[in-house]
Amino acid sequence: MSSRSCLSVILAAGEGTRMKSVLPKVLHQIAGLPMVVHVVKAAEAAGAGDQALVIGHGAEEMRKAAQKFAPKAETFVQERRLGTAHAVLAARDAISRGYDDLLVMFGDTPLIDPGALTAARLKLAKGAGVVVIGFRTPNPTGYGRLIEKGGKLVAIREEKDCTDEEKKITFCNGGLMAVAGKQALKLLDQVGNKNAKGEYYLTDIVEIAGGQGLDVVATEASFENALGINNRAELAEAEGIWQRRRRREAMLSGVTLIAPETVFFSHDTEIGADTIVEPNVWFGPGVKIATGAKIHAFSHIEGATVASNCDVGPFARLRPGADLKQKAKVGNFCEVKQAVIEEGAKVNHLTYIGDARVGAGANIGAGTITCNYDGYSKFFTDIGEGAFIGSNSSLVAPVTIGNGGYIASGSVITESVPDDALAFGRARQRTLPGKGKELRERFASAAAAKKAAAK
């Protein structure tokens, strides 16, 4: 297949009014990635070296998304919505370059398996002129039927046009299609609009190609491959299917998911073997987890790197730029952002570390915060190897705590601390015997007087 050139034309011009959103339908996300980009990636994985996105509604937003997620894709605008064949022809300039294979896909079918596309391309390589990807379902009501005779596909019949016998067919049209590149424009240009809606339907090329003696065949894929998204309920259904696939893939690669249905991955999550993930963990975009890590329950991780044998959570939040080195620990109710936690360092309880480095073997006590923001700019805190930061300390950046430095609990540190120094940054304690009792009596008397005055 690598010797055959391939163009994928991805139709993404629909308004998606049933999504009830100002955002173009195909830009709604599955696993943190716009659904149309899932389609692009599937086409690339099936060997489509070039992509043409046919856009309409929200064209500028679509271009921006394409530049970010699919920079190699060309965009073509369908000015008027006159049917699927008309939409494909919006990319005429790309099609006319003479590819061996043309894949026609839809931007709202994010679960398409590259294997289904490859199977269709293999049929083209063996001489087919048109290949339709279909699926079987025990309940075909509402779907167009694939009408076959002698192993050839002779028509795609919409249900309202089916005979009673044809309605019993369970092999249905998935919408996805592969066309021989040399025949594509000739077939598309012959599609007419003599129908109730006056539109140009891509499905008509099946009968057109058959009438010209070209081989027209169907391949079978699972229903999920053709699942189109039209509303938020279907979007959630597709998310669920994607997550189930990804969880299974992770577990088969050596990752333990204690309660798989409660763990959510993003499209680019990387997670190493022998990692254990406890229930209710969310992985946002840009997460890399090495081997042997343990991610405890209710942790939220995004844009972070976690090295081997680290320990995270429970109830930990790793924000973008968090970089945990080997055997580092970030414990319960801790937040780390744009900071390196070096090998063996521990950030145990109720702590915020932002714009910082925590040196190897350092220990950060409960309630510690790096005060990194003054309302306008961010500042850096550098904590040396083997440093000990006592509980409830505030490190006011920019500040450096030297190797082996020791910060007394409850300190506010505003100046750098040399290696192996002990720093106190708190008011001197005074103890006044009997003063507690005196205060309680005074407060009780005031409260009683206030209550009496209210009567």
Distance, in Å, from the CA atom of 203 to the CA atom of 147, rounded to the nearest integer, reads 12
Q: Which of 57, 267, 300, 349 is catalytic?
A: 349
CA Rg, the chain, in Å? 31
- Give the number of other CB atoms < 10 A from CB of residue 162: 16
Q: What is the 3-state secondary structure (H, E, C) of the chain?
A: CCCCCEEEEEEECCCCHHHCCCCCHHHCEECCEEHHHHHHHHHHHCCCCEEEEEEECEHHHHHHHHHHHCCCCEEEECCCCCCHHHHHHCCHHHHCCCCCEEEEEECCCCCCCHHHHHHHHHHHHCCCCEEEEEEECCCCCCCCEEEEECCEEEEEECHHHCCCCHHHCCEEEEEEEEEEHHHHHHHHHCCCCCCCCCCCCHHHHHHHHHHCCCCEEEEECCHHHHCCCCCHHHHHHHHHHHHHHHHHHHHHCCCEECCHHHCECCCCCEECCCCEECCCCEECCCCEECCCCEECCCCEECCCEECCCCEECCCCEECCCCEECCCCEECCCCEEEEEEECCCCEECCCCEEEEEEECCCCEECCCCEEECECCCCECCEEECCCCEECCCCEEECCEEECCCCEECCCCEECCCECCCCEECCCCCCCCCCCHHHHHHHHHHHHHHHHHHHHC
Query: Among candidates 290, 318, 323, 317, which has minimal Cα distance to 305?
Result: 323
**Residues 87-108 as b or e (16 or more Cβ within 10 Å = b):** bbbbbeebbeeebbbbbbbbbb
Q: Which residue has the tokens 């973008």?
A: 320
Distance, in Å, from the CA atom of 25 to the CA atom of 229, rounded to the nearest integer, reads 8
Respond yes or no: is residue 267 known to be catalytic.
no
Residue numbers annotated as active site: 349
